[in-house]
A and B are shown apart, each in its own frame.
Chain A
């Protein structure tokens, strides 16, 4: 279908990762299609979050963490020797489980943070980027009159959309989301899911979720993880209606997890 017209922006090849002696992610290979939403689902402790954190090299920030394998972003391995993780993270943004706007920073400064880090000083450029990102994150109308107030003064759902705007501001081609709605109420969750539909016109999203219904609602592709392995990956429709692996079927029918 139209999947063929899109290219694979991320190609993950035999990725293995863990901490110290424990292996959390086991030889995972998968492809992430450009401008689609790929959902990673599975029971707690299945390695989906660790896997996600390998995709922007954030995993290695934890003490004792290690990674093997390749992650190709636009055909360039982000784990190649000499590749700066700082550069990788400017190409692959991330939104976390708990909203984490920088405390002691205003709404405006939070969104601008990625730009100022990059040394961009031009005020008009920053102002444009902030407005664009807040509009993209569907937060602009709610905050445009109080851009100078603290980012942490917003509600949880607004804070999470602020974090999405912050990630969008540096225009990364890929954004990773680690259970972005698990700390939010149903209405804020619905808003963010709606937002994801809008966002995928412009960015590729890889989202980890605990919530199978969410995966079914928002994603184009679904990957099912179990005990550090990728059990099955397919288009979301096929995965939920006709899973190939019995373990996937058990999981989506609620027999475990």
Chain B
């Protein structure tokens, strides 16, 4: 008997030692991630410091971006990033929600996984390929059909006016929408699948129609998760560089027309970093990166706050 207890206690010690090793390993990795984030933050700030010392905080209030005269303002790019991402959400959210609901609630079972893999395949297309497709297919289409029709329909509104280039904010937003649809859709599918079936049955048993049952017992309980999925999509849209740079037209300008060329924070960095001549120019580009990081963080915190408000027990 005593032997048995002895053996057991040794074994316990062994387990505790390996546990400690394991925990510390996890701790180390987590700390590394935090250090990594902090160092990126510090690097971005330190490399943009020359600009802030030279210009003060006018960088955040200025809309002009002119490397030739050494005037640097980030607002035009903030506008480009926010508006193109907003357009992306405008198209991507209804499509993603709709397809996620269809696949989880209505679609015949044997069709679900083939359709789902096609949607996931969209995420596997390299963004430069999206960019090419944008230049050769989407941009001409928008130039020849979409903008003329929209501007014809709304003669008073400035949003759709201006010369038809094909390349611009709207095209960039559409490309972004296609790129974030797989993200939002697949996560939403997971979320809707995770909502227990007994809620839907409960709604049905109360005399709810299909739509009402889905609304009460699937969408509402899943809302917090769907918002998280949308946030992830938004984060991707705000940071996406290659495809956007190829189709947005790259002009540092805040125009009232959604069809005019613009630039985003990511696209201006990609475009100008290689040939940034002066010290100040490259400092301003890192400052743009710094701003992008700040805004992404802000959006993430904001989204988290909203999600918290929606969070149910799931």
Residues of A within 8 A of B (CB): 56, 58, 61, 63, 86-87, 89-90, 93-94, 96, 98, 100-105, 113-114, 117-118, 150, 152, 163, 166-167, 170
Contact = CB atoms under 8 A, between A and B. Distances in A.
B207 A104 contact: no
Contacts of A103: 199, 220-221, 312-314
A165 to B, nearest CB: 12
B207 A102 contact: no
A102 B199 contact: yes
B204 interface: yes
A104 B221 contact: yes
Contacts of A167: 205-206
Given A96-B201, A104-B223, A117 B312 contact: no
A89 B206 contact: yes
B203 to A, nearest CB: 7
Given A58-B201, A89-B207, A113-B206, A102 B217 contact: yes
A89 B199 contact: no
A195 to B, nearest CB: 18
Given A102-B203, A113-B216, 16 more contacts: A58-B204, A58-B205, A86-B207, A93-B205, A96-B205, A98-B198, A100-B196, A100-B201, A102-B202, A102-B217, A103-B221, A103-B312, A105-B220, A117-B206, A117-B207, A117-B208
Contacts of B198: 96, 98, 100
Interface residues of B, number: 23
A101 B204 CA distance: 13
A96 B199 CA distance: 10
Given A63-B109, A96-B201, A150-B313, A104 B220 contact: yes
16 contacts: A56-B205, A58-B204, A96-B198, A98-B198, A100-B202, A103-B199, A103-B220, A104-B223, A105-B216, A105-B220, A113-B206, A114-B207, A117-B203, A163-B202, A166-B206, A170-B207
A87 B206 contact: no
B154 interface: no
A94 B203 CA distance: 10
B203 A113 contact: yes
A170 B203 CA distance: 13
B209 interface: yes
Contact of A102 (B209, B220, B223, B310): B220
A103 B225 CA distance: 13
B202 A89 contact: no
A150 B312 contact: yes
A111 to B, nearest CB: 11
A165 B76 CA distance: 57
A105 B201 CA distance: 16
Contacts of A118: 207
Contacts of B208: 86, 117
A114 B213 CA distance: 11
Nearest to B212: A117
A150 B314 CA distance: 13
A98 B207 CA distance: 19
